């Protein structure tokens, strides 16, 4: 049986081929063609939200499927953009919201926001990567987690960055052999612990990330023998495809100095 690490490396080492294969799947190709045919004509945030197919495509591309229902929340993200340091997306520890606001930067570019490459090809590339990760997770959740961590590792700037994203936290806890109960401890202490035992700057180095994922996949195999793990658990509710709004806001308050 192929190990978690081997499966992850098979995809990661020839990522472009893997992504091309995904992009040619009929359902992916259909949704992508629709997105590209429509997005350039969208001039306002209202128009974007009015087309649920476009909206859901962009949300999935940024790993925010489970937050698609929270349109008032997402409207605030897009309306305020990212240029002001006090903008809503900049105050959230989860960087996926900022990434969405950068892809569709209505706040900066107004009706021209959807004409840029990052709003078109950029979102399409994100959608393919997200679909690839989900597909990998159907066979082995550990592979999906490894691919996700590889993609997101460079965005980790503090212990709070880890806590704000359940999937990142799952990878780190597994690699460090921390019990699941650790996630229920004081948030400040969790963040301080991660910053103490990890050199977060190393997550900007692909080779160091690779070494960390070797450790993660080995520990994952030990903790999750075949048939003993529900592969969907980590991706439900407050996970990489969405984070509990209450948790997100509480982390945000901590980042701003509130208690």
pLDDT beyond 80 at 100: yes
User: Which class for 21: exposed (0-12), middle (13-18), buried (19 or more C-beta within 10 A)?
Assistant: middle
What is the percent of the chain with per-residue pLDDT over 90, rounded to a whole number?
80
Give the confidence band of 159 by pLDDT, cuts at 50, 70, 90. very high
Q: What is the mean pLDDT of residues 6-33?
A: 95
Bridge partners of 242, per DSSP, are: 239
- The pLDDT tens digits for 167-222 are 999 999 999 999 989 999 999 999 999 999 999 999 999 999 999 999 999 999 99
pLDDT of res. 244 = 46
pLDDT of res. 224 = 83
- Which residues, 6+ apart, have CB-to-CB distance to 216 below 8 Å? 142, 145, 146, 149, 171, 174, 175
Give the confidence band of 225 by pLDDT, cuts at 50, 70, 90. confident
pLDDT beyond 90 at 89: yes
Residue 148: name the closest of 201, 135, 32 by CA: 135
pLDDT beyond 70 at 51: yes
- Which residues, 6+ apart, have CB-to-CB distance to 184 below 8 Å? none
- The pLDDT tens digits for 54-65 are 999 999 999 999
**More confident call, 150 vs 227:** 150
Give the confidence band of 2 by pLDDT, cuts at 50, 70, 90. confident
Q: What is the mean pLDDT of residues 62-78?
A: 95
Place of tokens 């940024």: 62
**More confident call, 120 vs 155:** 120
Q: What is the pTM of this model?
A: 0.81
Q: What is the mean pLDDT of residues 49-78?
A: 96
pLDDT of res. 205 = 97
- The pLDDT tens digits for 107-146 are 999 999 999 999 999 999 999 999 999 999 998 999 999 9
Largest CA distance in the chain: 52
Angle between helix 121-139 and helix 52-61 axes, rounded to 10 deg: 70
Question: Of 17-21, 103-107, 148-152, 233-237, which gets the smallest average pLDDT?
Answer: 233-237
């Amino acid at each position: 049986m192929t190990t978690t690490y081997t499966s992850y490396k098979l995809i990661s080492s020839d990522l472009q081929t893997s992504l091309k294969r995904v992009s040619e799947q009929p359902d992916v190709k259909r949704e992508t063609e629709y997105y590209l045919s429509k997005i350039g004509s969208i001039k306002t945030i209202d128009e974007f939200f009015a087309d649920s197919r476009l909206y859901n495509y962009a949300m999935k591309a940024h790993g925010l499927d489970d937050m698609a229902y929270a349109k008032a929340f997402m409207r605030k993200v897009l309306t305020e953009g990212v240029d002001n340091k006090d903008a809503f997306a900049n105050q959230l520890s989860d960087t996926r919201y900022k990434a969405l606001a950068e892809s569709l930067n209505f706040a900066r570019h107004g009706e021209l926001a959807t004409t840029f490459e990052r709003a078109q090809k950029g979102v399409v590339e994100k959608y393919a990567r997200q679909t690839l990760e989900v597909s990998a997770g159907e066979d082995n959740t550990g592979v999906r987690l490894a691919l996700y961590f590889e993609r997101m590792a460079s965005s980790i700037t503090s212990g709070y960055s880890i806590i704000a994203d359940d999937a990142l936290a799952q990878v780190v806890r597994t690699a460090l052999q921390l019990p699941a109960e650790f996630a229920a401890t004081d948030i400040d202490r969790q963040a301080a612990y991660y910053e103490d035992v990890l050199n977060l700057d190393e997550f900007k180095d692909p080779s160091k990330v690779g070494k960390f994922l070797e450790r993660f996949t080995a520990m994952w195999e030990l903790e999750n023998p075949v048939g003993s793990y529900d592969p969907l658990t980590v991706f439900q509710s407050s996970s990489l495809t969405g984070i509990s709004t209450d948790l997100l806001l509480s982390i945000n308050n901590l980042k701003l100095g509130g208690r």
